[in-house]
């Protein structure tokens, strides 16, 4: 009798663990989750790692971009890239890039008004000093936050 109770308990724990893992996996696949500040922090960390790996985030990282960026902004970026009219990086609002920024991303001052949020970002590097950005996010239909604009301050 004890063996059956223990066995059922182990099965219940295993099922609970699998359900937790599956839920986290579904959230990761469906889009960036969390607060606007968390989304921005995750995005910039991913973006900088991709750039440091000498990969093009707009081609190599397209699925990740869709998780973090509004379709409107992606379309705007694609059009600018096709016409060779992209004067600055659309997420950094500069032509410069510092590889050390990936380790020095500070996100603060989250302001949410309805389905729009603004987040301040600071990237810091020994060569470039401080680079400040204001990132605007929109809340999508699935309640996830997506980046819609980034501009230098």
Strands of 116-125's sheet in order across: 105-113, 116-125, 129-139, 145-152
If you average pLDDT over residues 68-77, what whole number do you get?
97
To the nearest whole number, what is the mean pLDDT of the chain? Answer: 84
- Asked whether the predicted pLDDT for residue 9 surpasses 70, the reply is no
Per DSSP, 153 falls in state -
What is the DSSP track for 33-52? -S-HHHHHHHHHHHHHHHHH
How high is the pLDDT of residue 127? 82
Does CATH place domain 34-152 in 3.40.309.10? no
Asked if residues 127 and 30 have their Cβ atoms less than 8 Å apart, the reply is no
> Whole-structure pTM over 0.85, yes or no?
no
Distance CA 66, CA 81 (A): 17
Domain segments of the chain as ranges: 1-30, 34-152
Asked if residues 152 and 93 have their Cβ atoms less than 8 Å apart, the reply is yes
Greater pLDDT, 57 or 9: 57
Q: What is the largest CA-CA distance in the chain?
A: 74
Number of H helices, E strands in the chain: 4, 4
Query: Is residue 3 very low, low, confident or very high in pLDDT (cuts 50, 70, 90)?
Result: low
Greater pLDDT, 109 or 24: 109
Distance CA 29, CA 147 (A): 17
What is the DSSP track for 111-125? EEETTEEEEEEEEEE
- Asked whether the predicted pLDDT for residue 104 surpasses 60, the reply is yes
Using DSSP's 3-state secondary structure scheme, residue 53 falls into: coil
Query: Is residue 87 very low, low, confident or very high in pLDDT (cuts 50, 70, 90)?
Result: confident
If you average pLDDT over residues 12-34, what whole number do you get?
45
Query: Is residue 2 very low, low, confident or very high in pLDDT (cuts 50, 70, 90)?
Result: low
Q: Is 45 exposed, middle or buried (0-12, 13-18, 19+ CB in 10 A)?
A: middle
Using DSSP's 3-state secondary structure scheme, residue 145 falls into: strand
- Asked whether the predicted pLDDT for residue 90 surpasses 50, the reply is yes
Q: Distance of alpha carbon 87 from its chain centroid, rounded?
A: 23
């Amino acid at each position: 009798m004890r063996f059956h109770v223990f066995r059922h308990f182990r099965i219940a724990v295993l099922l609970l663990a699998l359900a937790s893992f599956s839920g986290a996996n579904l959230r990761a696949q469906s889009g960036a989750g969390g607060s606007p500040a968390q989304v921005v922090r995750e995005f910039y960390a991913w973006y900088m790692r991709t750039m440091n790996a000498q990969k093009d985030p707009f081609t190599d990282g397209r699925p990740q971009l869709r998780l973090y960026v509004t379709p409107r902004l992606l379309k705007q970026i694609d059009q600018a890239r096709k016409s060779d009219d992209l004067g600055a990086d659309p997420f950094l609002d500069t032509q410069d890039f510092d590889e050390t920024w990936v380790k020095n991303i500070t996100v603060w001052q989250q302001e949410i008004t309805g389905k729009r949020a603004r987040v301040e970002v600071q990237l810091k590097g020994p060569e470039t000093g401080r680079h400040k950005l204001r990132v605007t996010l929109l809340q999508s239909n699935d309640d996830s936050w997506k980046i819609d604009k980034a501009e230098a301050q």
